[in-house]
Amino acid sequence: MAKKLLSLKNSKQIPAPQIETTRVVIVGTGFVGSTSAFAIMMSGIASEIVLVDVNKDKCLGEAWDLEHGISFVPQTKIWAGDYSDCKDADVVVITAGLGQKVGQTRLELASANAKIIKDIIEKIKRYTDKAVILIVTNPLDVMTYVALKKSGLPDYQVFGTGTTLDSSRFRFLLAQEFGVAPDSMGAYLIGEHGDSEVPVYSHVNLMGENIANLPEYNKKAAEQAYLKTKTAAYDIICKKGATYYAIALAVERVVRAILYDENHIFPVSSLLTGQYGIKDVCLSLPAVVGRTGIKKVMEIKLSPDELDKLRKSAKIVRETIENVK
């Protein structure tokens, strides 16, 4: 006897549960923006991903390419939208701007990208003042300051990825020297996301033990790890034209901390209000990141040399800010 196929036509419909949606809008679908969308889609942390770009065809093409792989990853709605989609956004990630060219410093990008950021913030503000805004565009610290001041939003709601990626690079290179996994290293860079970033050697540790106390410690190798970290972006750009995989993973990780209210500590760029005697400039310091953005900026103990370098870094960033106000 042939089995009857299950029919859904007359089956009892069970009301779908009300599930909270989480929306991430990514402004800019260049290398960094599209790869960040891919990383967020792969992790399944957001139920909706919206791509926005001045190049509509590029934006649509990226959205199509991503959504064609949805059957392989956690279910996510992805589409090419516009700024009106920011209305229901939990996080808006801004990656739009001119890219860094071979031999060009991040600070040299400032004037051109400041105009782009101001225009984007103005358009976002038409539709929301509730979303957390995460800046990725370089020069990161200057653009974070420009975005914050243009938005008029609270300090905690607008911040940049800062030295989150730089710190990951630093941990990776140090871990190679010690023969351990990178996530076993406790190491951060603070200050500018750029040439004046500061390695906090006084807090670099393995399982709580400062590396200077370990028999495997090699001061020259540790300093070399920092120097390689500082030139990493330039080296990659020279080889392949742009960096985007690692920063996309950093974006996903910070966005995850926001959406899940993790209270995770990252060295992100935010407005300093007196920490270490520094005011009115955006720099990276360890900060607690959660659902509302930055909940607390940590003021860890620094050595005199680290403090001096941090203040010099602040001066460099502030001078660039003055030129783009």
Architecture of the 164-324 domain: Alpha-Beta Complex (3.90)
Task: Kindly state the percentage of the chain with pLDDT values over 90.
Answer: 83
Query: What is the C-alpha separation between 114 and 324, in angstroms, rounded?
Result: 7
* Least-confidence region, from 207-211, 257-261, 317-321: 207-211
User: Which pLDDT value is given to residue 1?
Assistant: 45
- Specify the CATH superfamily of domain 23-160: NAD(P)-binding Rossmann-like Domain (3.40.50.720)
Query: Which structure tokens are listed for 200?
Result: 């906090």
Is 203 assigned a catalytic role? no
User: Which pLDDT value is given to residue 294?
Assistant: 98
Q: How far is CA 218 from CA 33, 58, 187, in A?
A: 38, 48, 15
pLDDT at 10 over 60: no
pLDDT bin (cut points 50, 70, 90) of residue 17 is: low
User: Which pLDDT value is given to residue 18?
Assistant: 58
pLDDT at 107 over 80: no
Q: What is the mean pLDDT of residues 87-97?
A: 97
Q: What contacts 38, CB < 8 A, 6 or more positions away?
A: 66, 248
User: Which pLDDT value is given to residue 152?
Assistant: 97
User: Which pLDDT value is given to residue 98?
Assistant: 86
* Least-confidence region, from 43-52, 78-87, 119-128, 213-222: 213-222
Query: What is the C-alpha separation between 154 and 166, in angstroms, rounded?
Result: 26
Query: What is the C-alpha separation between 97 and 139, in angstroms, rounded?
Result: 10
pLDDT bin (cut points 50, 70, 90) of residue 247 is: very high
Radius of gyration, alpha carbons of the chain: 21
pLDDT at 219 over 50: yes
Beta strands in the chain (DSSP E): 23-27, 48-52, 77-80, 91-94, 132-135, 158-160, 185-186, 189-190, 198-199, 205-206, 209-210, 264-273, 279-290, 293-297
Q: What is the mean pLDDT of residues 30-37?
A: 97
Q: What is the mean pLDDT of residues 219-225?
A: 90
pTM: 0.92
Mean predicted lDDT score pLDDT of the chain: 92
The domain segmentation of the chain, as residue ranges, is 23-160, 164-324
User: Which pLDDT value is given to residue 324?
Assistant: 85
User: Which pLDDT value is given to residue 75?
Assistant: 93
